[in-house]
Amino acid sequence: MLCRATSGRRRGPTGASSHTHLNPPVDDPAVRIIGLSLLLILATACAGTGTSTPTQPTVTARAVASGSASATASTPASATSAAPLLCAAPAQALVELTEGPYYKAGAPQRSTLATSSTAGTALVLSGYVVTRSCQPIANAKLDFWQADGNGSYDNSGYNLRGWQLTSANGAYRLETVIPGLYPGRTEHIHVKVTPPNGQTYTSQLFFPGVSQNEADSIYSSSMLVTLDSTKTPAAATFTFVVNLP
């Protein structure tokens, strides 16, 4: 190849170079300039034959529309997306139940209510807010509050209290714990559902298989979540149907 370097010249008996010119040298300035130009072009071409390292693509963070949560592009969709919407129109509107004595206004906006020190079994609750015709409602406000796994409410602060807005497809996702029992009450999570520019619907969610359900005078089987306790954290789903067409 033209870009291959010569290791050395063959030496003659007297030590002088034995290289033989095919053509006699021409001592002409114009020829020298042309020769230098050709050498420069050849050197540039040889330098360009090296291997370069490709630039790695840049990953840009993006928001994931699911409640108020956000994630980067590398976050699996299952970490932030609700299960597929299962709704048969006309759907039955949620049953409104008492607010109870432990509601506190002013809770922070957040989708994670539990901390590492919260008593109880970790739970992810997800689902949708829809109309009776199963149309998803974006930006519906969901205000949750509950007892911890020991059946205790935080009435001096806002532990296990918080609200969020549904995503563009009406989805929500809540990270919390399964609430405990306390005298007179079965396991339950309180919620206020407020569609944009609409009325507020107050209710409670209950858990299947709890022996105290039937003894609780507030309990409603139509507000039972679907629970998979074999997962870690436990996974529950519920679709809130508000009384809108």
Order the strands of the 234-241 sheet from edge to edge: 171-177, 122-130, 234-241, 226-228
Task: Tell me the H-state helices in 60-203.
Answer: none
Residue 122 and residue 101: Cα distance in Å, rounded? 25
Choose among 103, 123, 106: nearest CA to 190.
Answer: 103
Residue entry with tokens 């759907």:
91
For residue 232 the two structure tokens come to 């870690």
For residue 128 the two structure tokens come to 């949708």
Choose among 66, 98, 94: nearest CA to 80.
Answer: 66
For residue 134 the two structure tokens come to 């199963």
Entry pTM: 0.68
Write the pLDDT tens digit of every residue in 214-242. Answer: 999 999 999 999 999 999 999 999 999 99
Domains along the chain with CATH numbers: 90-241 (2.60.130.10)
Is the distance from CB of 127 to CB of 239 less than 8 angstroms?
A: yes
pLDDT > 70? residue 210: yes
CA dist 27 → 19, 42, 213, 240 (Å): 18, 22, 109, 95
Write the pLDDT tens digit of every residue in 121-159. Answer: 999 999 999 999 999 999 999 999 999 999 999 999 999
pLDDT > 90? residue 42: no
Write the pLDDT tens digit of every residue in 112-128. Answer: 999 999 999 999 999 99
pLDDT level of residue 41 (50, 70, 90 thresholds): very low
Write the pLDDT tens digit of every residue in 159-178. Answer: 999 999 999 999 999 999 99
For residue 30 the two structure tokens come to 């114009």
Residue 29: Cβ within 10 Å count = 7
φ/ψ of residue 223, rounded to 5: -110, 25
Coil, strand or helix: which one is 112? strand
Q: Percentage of the chain surpassing pLDDT 70?
A: 67
